[in-house]
Amino acid sequence: MSELLTVKEAAKELDVSPRRVHQFCKSGRLGKQYGWQWLITREELEAFKKIPRTQGRPRKED
């Protein structure tokens, strides 16, 4: 069985807020919901870290 992480633990590893991790979870990009709690496996988190992401808001198209 792989290690399970809470939203708070995953947020610390990803260097984002717990709220942002909740957004990733709700959109289906990360974790599974068990009851009221979201849990993320270590493997999921490591794979998610490899996805390239840009910071900040996207530029407006003119």
In the chain, where the domains are located: 4-49
For every one of its 62 residues, what pLDDT tens digit does the chain have, with 9 covering 90 and above? 689 999 999 999 999 999 999 999 999 999 999 999 999 999 999 999 998 877 788 788 87
Residue 58 confidence (pLDDT): 78
Residue 57 confidence (pLDDT): 82
Residue 1 confidence (pLDDT): 65
d(CA 59, CA 49): 23
Residue closest to 6 by CA, chosen among 36, 40, 35, 34: 40
Residue 56 confidence (pLDDT): 81
